[in-house]
């Protein structure tokens, strides 16, 4: 056989071998674009060994700006690894975490810790058998008493605990103190006050509400959450969630009608078309420049405030959404913004549970993380002012104290992305646009939502609703 | 003296051993075939299966027969998306192709600086869609974009919220996509035009043909294979359009710019209805396959395309 022939066979064989090896490398095909090195997955996790090797725990979390990543690594990963010589935690920051994680977990190659954007996302993992129950660890580490009960309850299905809340959130009304002062306005607490300011702002060619949903259609559900909570009231929303009333209850329909009225009046950026076409950078810029008055957004926005108001950081402030109907209290709609669970394929669940316990185990550490990475790691435990570093922004501590108080008293509202099942939630996100353009009436919107919600209830897909 | 001829023609197929004739070519083909089976054929077949299930994307899938397709045919948003795909297809079969044909025809007569124009027109095509979309998002911005600037200059009718108005959102995104696409077609047509036999033009001129008649009777027939090929890929790409729509409007507002691909994405990753998403995907593939089959059939029947 000639040399060239041998070479050609060898070449072909080598390529075939490479191609055949692809399945074993398949997990890497869905591996995230991590900003840190290493592509280790669950299957790479070494057994806790008698050999003295460290047990590796892999955690994929949402991506963040580099500075926040460094601080999180310093405050959490490093402190954990220093305190646990037998365990090595590796945290990777992943873009589009939810999509990447679903694919990886389904392929059997996910990380040891499964982080989702909220309890509604956990149900699918549970149904598919990808998540291990946490009840034994909850007892061992006392999570029931450390974490706010409503947030623990949100992680249960059929009485079993499957997920823990990494962060909790609320939606508030942000404003620019200077804008209010320049125009002689006070922070509104009632619908009449809110509408008076909105009309005056319109007359002065200012946007009453700066929000737009081009960057994230989910802005629609922030609004629906706020309008339901502050017009229909939390008790009515709770009854609908528990199916004691329906989503086409008159008060709930009127809430949507009022939201739509505000849209048609041009309170949101002058017109619905502007609302549909405006992204977050313009929203932030307009609030900071005084071109707009109020911004309805969540506590996650804390992380952007320093860059939003670089010259006058003292100007931004938050307040509760005004009451939109007599007799309805202003309140916090609370949510679990991210959840943590143990991958059922994790080789050493005890080590993974140690990592979870580290999240809730020390108030000062949690407060330091919140101080360094404001907005995204608001662990729902009872944090006191003294837990925070001395230079923590007082506005931030104030909102956390208020959320903490609402959590303990049970006087809180419900965000759609935590307490609604997935399809109902997506319906709200996608179909509110149709209400705004007049294709759906508020009553039709509410009736259709009721149909979807009832179907999900029938399929046992409702997230747990903590008792009021 | 005669020099020995290098490699005198040998009878190729009959005398070559079986290994050389049959096995060796397949050995070279095998790697890419295996790769195709792994990353294209297997996922495609699994998607066909999942189209008949209620799979969420996680866990096991339950066979539900034609239920996804029944739902699909009664789903208003699916029909809205399908209609938008047809509009998109119609736009891309006309506007960029007409622009590219006219542009290429004009440039074919440019003797100096043609390379410069080719590069200028081609650059948008090689730019990342995220970058192009970000630039145009600013240009079409309702607060600082071209609409409001023109209105400030005394043209109030120009204050259009391009991406926020349900009447203009789809066309605005199509405009942006076209901006990056037509330069690519132009370069293809220009290359095709330059291969048209010059004597045909000379003959046409001798017969008294003007520029337009030259274009219609010489240029277009001369570039017909390229033209038909671009028509085919335009149709197929129109049903696969995703990136610009997803970045600029996400299919909104109110599904005004929804197309089948954005619908598939939302069904699979927002609503966790991977089975339903597979059904939409399969339907989209069938539509593309119909156009492909027409193209192949016409070729087989002897049409010069």
Phi, psi of A343 (to 5 degrees): -60, 130
Distance from CA of A456 to the nearest CA of B (A): 12
Q: Give alpha helix (H) positions in chain B.
A: 18, 24-36, 42-50, 67-73, 76-108, 114-126, 129-139, 146-152, 169-194, 198-206, 211-214, 220-222, 224-240, 243-248, 260-269, 274-300
Contact status, residue A318 vs residue A147, Cβ threshold 8 Å: no
Cβ contacts (< 8 Å) between A430 and chain B: which residues? 255, 266
Residues A39, A124 within the same domain = yes
Cβ contacts (< 8 Å) between B255 and chain A: which residues? 430, 433-434
Residues A180, A45 within the same domain = no
8 Å CB contact of B31 and A15: yes
Residues A101, A248 within the same domain = no
Cβ contacts (< 8 Å) between B163 and chain A: which residues? 214, 276-277
Cβ contacts (< 8 Å) between B38 and chain A: which residues? 19, 22-23
Distance CA A375, CA B14 (A): 75
Place domain B87-250 in its CATH homologous superfamily. Answer: MetI-like (1.10.3720.10)
Most B CBs within 10 Å, among A276, A432, A441, A461, to test the B interface: A276
Residues A163, A89 within the same domain = yes
Most A CBs within 10 Å, among B161, B167, B168, to test the A interface: B161
Cβ contacts (< 8 Å) between B253 and chain A: which residues? 213, 272-273, 276-277, 433, 436-437
Residues A203, A228 within the same domain = yes
- Spatial CA neighbour of A92 closest among A130, A141, A44, A163: A44
For B144, which residue in chain A has the nearest alpha carbon? A282
Distance from CA of B58 to the nearest CA of A (A): 6
pLDDT in tens, B172-220: 999 999 998 999 999 999 999 989 999 999 999 998 999 899 999 999 9
Arithmetic mean of pLDDT, B29-41 = 92
Q: Is the dihedral of CA B82, B83, B84, B87 positive or negative?
A: positive
8 Å CB contact of A439 and B162: no
Residues A252, A390 within the same domain = no
Distance from CA of B254 to the nearest CA of A (A): 5
Contact status, residue A117 vs residue A86, Cβ threshold 8 Å: no
Q: Is the dihedral of CA B181, B186, B187, B188 positive or negative?
A: positive
Instruction: Tell whether A286 lies on the interface with B, counting CB pairs under 8 A.
Output: yes
Three-point CA angle B144, B148, B154, nearest 5°? 140
Distance CA A187, CA A319 (A): 8
**Predicted pLDDT of residue B21:** 83
Here the CATH number for the domain that contains residue A77 is: 3.40.190.10
Cβ contacts (< 8 Å) between A129 and chain B: which residues? 59
For A14, which residue in chain B has the nearest alpha carbon? B31
Instruction: Tell whether A214 lies on the interface with B, counting CB pairs under 8 A.
Output: yes
Cβ contacts (< 8 Å) between A214 and chain B: which residues? 163-164, 249-250
**Predicted pLDDT of residue A1:** 44
Distance from CA of B110 to the nearest CA of A (A): 41
pLDDT above 70 (res B57): yes
Distance from CA of B79 to the nearest CA of A (A): 16
Distance CA B56, CA B54 (A): 6
8 Å CB contact of A426 and B270: yes
Residue A151 has what DSSP assignment?
Answer: H
Cβ contacts (< 8 Å) between A276 and chain B: which residues? 161, 163-165, 169, 252-254
Mean pLDDT score across all residues of chain B: 88
Arithmetic mean of pLDDT, B276-290 = 92
Q: Give alpha helix (H) positions in B109-142.
A: 114-126, 129-139
A12, A127, A273 ranked by CB distance to B161: nearest:
A273
A465 belongs to a structural domain: no
Residues A452, A322 within the same domain = yes
For A439, which residue in chain B has the nearest alpha carbon? B254
Cβ contacts (< 8 Å) between B35 and chain A: which residues? 19, 22
- Report the number of distinct structural domains present in chain A: 2
- Which residues, listed in sequence order, are joined to residue A338 by a DSSP beta bridge? A167
Identify the band that residue B13 occupies on the pLDDT scale cut at 50, 70 and 90.
low
Domain boundaries, chain B: 87-250
pLDDT above 80 (res B32): yes
8 Å CB contact of A276 and B165: yes
Distance CA A453, CA A365 (A): 40
Residues A175, A193 within the same domain = yes
Provide the total of helices (H) and of strands (E) in chain A, helices listed first: 23, 12
8 Å CB contact of B253 and A276: yes
Instruction: Tell whether A21 lies on the interface with B, counting CB pairs under 8 A.
Output: no
Q: Is the dihedral of CA A76, A77, A82, A85 positive or negative?
A: positive
What is this model's ipTM? 0.80
Most A CBs within 10 Å, among B74, B140, B254, to test the A interface: B254
8 Å CB contact of B38 and A426: no
8 Å CB contact of B59 and A129: yes
Which of residues A371, A386, A409 is at a domain's end? Answer: A409
B28, B30, B163 ranked by CB distance to A277: nearest:
B163
The residues, ordered by sequence, that sit 6+ positions from A50 with a Cβ below 8 Å of its Cβ are: none
Arithmetic mean of pLDDT, B215-229 = 91
Most B CBs within 10 Å, among A110, A124, A277, A341, to test the B interface: A277
8 Å CB contact of A19 and B166: no
Residues A143, A122 within the same domain = yes
- Interface list for chain B against chain A, based on CB atoms closer than 8 Å: 24, 27-28, 30-31, 34-35, 38, 56-60, 137, 140-144, 161-166, 169, 249-250, 252-255, 266, 269-272
B58, B142, B270 ranked by CB distance to A273: nearest:
B142
Percent of chain B residues past pLDDT 90, beyond the cut: 60
Using alpha carbons, list the distances in angstroms from residue B19 to A5, A347, B10.
Answer: 10, 49, 17
Most A CBs within 10 Å, among B59, B159, B162, B258, to test the A interface: B59
8 Å CB contact of B24 and A8: yes
A1 belongs to a structural domain: no
**Predicted pLDDT of residue A434:** 96
Distance CA A146, CA A159 (A): 19
Which pLDDT tens digits describe chain A residue by residue (468 residues)? 444 444 444 433 433 333 333 333 333 333 333 333 333 344 344 444 455 688 999 999 999 888 889 999 999 999 999 999 999 999 999 998 988 999 899 888 899 999 998 888 888 899 889 999 999 999 999 999 999 999 999 899 888 999 999 999 999 999 999 999 999 999 999 999 999 999 999 999 999 999 999 989 999 999 999 999 999 999 999 999 999 999 999 999 999 999 999 999 999 999 999 999 999 999 999 999 999 999 999 999 888 887 888 888 899 999 999 999 999 999 889 989 899 999 999 989 999 999 999 999 999 999 999 998 888 889 999 988 899 999 999 998 999 888 988 888 888 899 998 899 888 999 999 999 999 999 999 999 999 999 999 999 998 888 888 877
Residues A120, A199 within the same domain = no
Cβ contacts (< 8 Å) between A217 and chain B: which residues? 250, 252
The residues, ordered by sequence, that sit 6+ positions from A274 with a Cβ below 8 Å of its Cβ are: A212, A268, B142, B143, B161, B164
Q: Give alpha helix (H) positions in A57-189.
A: 66-72, 79-83, 97-106, 119-127, 135-141, 143-146, 149-153, 177-182
pLDDT above 80 (res B12): no
Could you tell me the residue range of the domain that residue A186 belongs to?
A: 169-334+415-458
Most B CBs within 10 Å, among A272, A273, A445, to test the B interface: A273
For A99, which residue in chain B has the nearest alpha carbon? B269
Residues A163, A173 within the same domain = no
Long-range contacts of range A25-29, CB-CB < 8 Å, 24 or more positions apart?
A26/A107, A26/A109, A27/A104, A27/A107, A27/A108, A27/A109
- Spatial CA neighbour of B244 closest among B223, B266, B226, B259: B259
Residue B23 has what DSSP assignment?
Answer: I
Residues A345, A402 within the same domain = yes
8 Å CB contact of B58 and A22: no
A292 belongs to a structural domain: yes
List all residues of chain A from 259 to 278 with a beta carbon under 8 Å from chain B: 269, 271-278
For B140, which residue in chain A has the nearest alpha carbon? A277
The three-state secondary structure class of B188 is: helix
- Which residues, listed in sequence order, are joined to residue A316 by a DSSP beta bridge? A176
Three-point CA angle A130, B272, A224, nearest 5°? 115
Q: Is the dihedral of CA A400, A405, A407, A413 positive or negative?
A: negative
**Predicted pLDDT of residue B305:** 57
Cβ-in-10-Å burial (0-12, 13-18, 19+) of A229 comes to: buried
**Predicted pLDDT of residue A465:** 86
């Amino acid at each position: 056989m000639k040399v060239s022939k041998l070479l050609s066979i060898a070449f072909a064989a080598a390529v075939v071998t490479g191609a055949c090896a692809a399945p074993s490398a398949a997990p890497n095909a869905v591996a995230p674009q991590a900003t840190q090195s290493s592509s280790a997955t669950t299957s790479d996790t070494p057994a806790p060994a008698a050999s003295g090797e460290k047990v590796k725990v892999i955690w994929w979390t949402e991506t963040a700006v580099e500075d926040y990543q460094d601080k999180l690594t310093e405050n959490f990963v490093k402190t954990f690894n220093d305190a646990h010589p037998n365990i090595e935690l590796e945290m990777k920051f992943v873009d589009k975490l939810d999509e990447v994680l679903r694919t990886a977990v389904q392929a059997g190659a996910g990380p040891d810790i499964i982080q989702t954007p909220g309890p509604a996302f956990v149900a699918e993992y549970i149904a598919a058998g990808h998540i291990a129950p946490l009840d034994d660890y909850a007892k061992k580490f006392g999570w029931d008493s450390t974490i706010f009960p409503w947030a623990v309850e949100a992680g249960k299905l059929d009485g079993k605990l499957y997920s823990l809340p990494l962060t909790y959130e609320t939606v508030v009304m942000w404003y620019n103190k200077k804008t209010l002062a320049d125009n002689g306005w006070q922070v509104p607490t009632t619908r009449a006050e809110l509408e008076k300011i909105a009309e005056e702002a319109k007359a002065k060619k200012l946007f009453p509400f700066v929000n737009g949903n081009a960057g994230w259609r989910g802005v629609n559900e922030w609004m629906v959450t706020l309008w339901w909570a502050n017009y229909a009231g939390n008790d009515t929303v709770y009854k609908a969630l528990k199916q004691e009333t329906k989503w086409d209850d008159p008060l709930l329909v009127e809430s949507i009608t009022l939201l739509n009225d505000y849209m048609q009046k041009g309170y949101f950026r002058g017109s619905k078309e502007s609302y549909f076409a405006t992204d977050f950078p313009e929203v932030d810029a307009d609030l900071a420049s005084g071109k707009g008055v109020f911004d309805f957004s969540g506590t996650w926005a804390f992380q952007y405030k320093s860059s939003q108001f670089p010259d006058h950081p003292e100007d931004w402030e938050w307040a509760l959404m005004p009451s939109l109907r007599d007799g309805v209290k202003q309140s916090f709609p609370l949510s679990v913004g991210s959840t943590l669970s143990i991958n059922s394929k994790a080789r050493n669940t005890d080590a993974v549970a140690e990592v979870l316990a580290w999240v809730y185990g020390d108030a000062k550490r949690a407060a330091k993380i919140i101080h360094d990475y404001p907005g995204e790691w608001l662990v729902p435990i009872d944090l006191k002012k003294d837990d925070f570093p001395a230079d923590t922004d007082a506005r931030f501590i104030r909102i956390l104290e208020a959320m903490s108080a609402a959590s303990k008293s049970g006087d809180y509202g419900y965000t759609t992305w935590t307490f609604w099942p997935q399809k109902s939630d997506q319906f709200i996100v996608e179909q509110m646009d149709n209400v705004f353009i007049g294709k759906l009436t508020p009553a039709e919107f509410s009736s259709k939502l009721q149909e979807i919600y009832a179907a999900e209830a029938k399929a046992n897909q409702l997230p747990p609703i903590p008792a009021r | 003296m005669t020099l020995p001829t290098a490699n005198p023609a040998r009878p190729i197929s009959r005398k070559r051993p079986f290994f050389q004739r049959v096995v060796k070519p397949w050995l070279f083909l095998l790697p890419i075939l295996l790769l195709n089976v792994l990353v294209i054929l297997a996922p495609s077949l699994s998607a066909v299966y999942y189209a008949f299930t209620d799979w969420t994307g996680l866990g096991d899938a339950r066979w539900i027969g034609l239920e996804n397709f029944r739902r699909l045919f009664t789903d208003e948003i699916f029909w809205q998306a399908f209609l938008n795909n047809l509009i998109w297809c119609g736009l891309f079969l006309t506007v960029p192709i007409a622009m590219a044909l006219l542009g290429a025809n004009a440039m074919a007569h440019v003797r100096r600086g043609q390379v410069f124009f080719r590069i200028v027109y081609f650059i948008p095509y090689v730019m990342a869609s995220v970058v192009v979309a970000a630039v145009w998002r600013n240009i079409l911005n309702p607060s600082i974009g071209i609409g409001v600037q023109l209105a400030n200059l005394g043209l109030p009718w120009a204050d259009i919220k391009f991406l926020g108005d349900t009447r203009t959102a789809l066309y605005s995104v199509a405009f942006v996509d076209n901006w990056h696409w037509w330069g690519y077609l132009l370069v293809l047509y220009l290359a095709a035009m330059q291969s048209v036999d010059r004597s045909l033009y000379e003959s046409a001129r001798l017969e008294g043909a003007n520029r337009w008649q030259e274009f219609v009777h010489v240029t277009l027939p001369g570039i017909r294979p390229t033209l038909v090929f671009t028509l085919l890929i335009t149709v197929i790409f129109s049903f696969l359009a995703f990136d610009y729509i997803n970045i600029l409007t996400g299919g909104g507002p109110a599904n005004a710019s929804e197309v089948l691909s954005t619908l598939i994405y939302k069904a699979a990753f927002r609503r966790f209805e991977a089975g339903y998403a597979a059904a939409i995907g399969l339907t989209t593939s069938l539509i593309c396959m119909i156009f492909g089959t027409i193209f192949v059939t016409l070729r087989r029947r002897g049409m010069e395309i």
